[in-house]
C-alpha cells in the first residue's frame, strides 16, 4: 500500500516529480510565446491530472486566441489559404502603427508552437 501511494497518490513522489516537470515546461512556454500584452504568457498554467489512476500534468491556457497563435492562421494555418471578410466587402482593422487598414484579404499569422517547443526543450 505504501508503494502504491508513493507511485499513484496525488501527493506521492511521482506526482511531485510530474508537477516539477510541468512547471519546467510552463517556464519554457512562457519564455517562447510572443505577445504584445503578455496576457497569453501569464495565462499558461500547470495542474495535476490523475489519468487512469496515475498522476500526470496538464500545461494549458484558457486564453481564447492561444490556439490561433500556436497553430497559425490563414496561409500559415491548417487551411493554407488567405481569409477575407464574411459579410462585408472589406476587412477593417487598426494596423500596428495605429492607422486604419481596409483590405479584401489577409495572409494570416505565422504559427508559434510555443507549447510543443516548450515540451521538447524541457525534456
pLDDT in tens, 20-29: 999 999 999 9
Which contiguous run of DSSP H or E holds residue 120? helix 114-122
At 96, list the grid cell.
Answer: 500596428
Task: Give the model confidence (pLDDT) of 80-121 as tens digits.
Answer: 889 888 899 999 999 888 999 999 988 888 999 999 999 998
Beta partners for 103?
Answer: 91
Span 36-65, mean pLDDT?
Answer: 90
φ and ψ at residue 46, rounded to 5 degrees: -130, 140
DSSP strands (E only) in the chain = 45-51, 54-60, 91-94, 100-103
Amino acid at each position: 500500500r505504501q508503494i502504491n501511494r508513493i507511485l499513484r497518490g496525488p501527493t506521492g513522489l511521482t506526482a511531485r516529480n510530474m508537477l516539477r516537470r510541468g512547471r519546467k515546461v510552463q517556464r519554457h512556454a512562457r519564455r517562447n510565446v510572443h505577445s504584445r500584452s503578455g496576457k497569453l504568457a501569464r495565462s499558461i498554467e500547470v495542474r495535476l491530472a490523475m489519468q487512469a489512476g496515475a498522476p500526470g500534468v496538464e500545461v494549458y491556457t484558457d486564453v481564447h486566441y492561444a490556439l490561433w497563435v500556436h497553430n497559425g492562421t490563414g496561409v500559415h494555418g491548417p487551411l493554407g489559404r488567405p481569409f477575407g471578410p464574411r459579410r462585408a466587402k472589406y476587412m477593417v482593422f487598426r494596423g500596428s502603427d495605429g492607422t486604419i487598414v481596409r483590405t479584401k484579404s489577409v495572409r494570416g499569422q505565422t504559427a508559434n508552437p510555443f507549447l510543443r517547443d516548450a515540451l521538447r526543450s524541457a525534456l
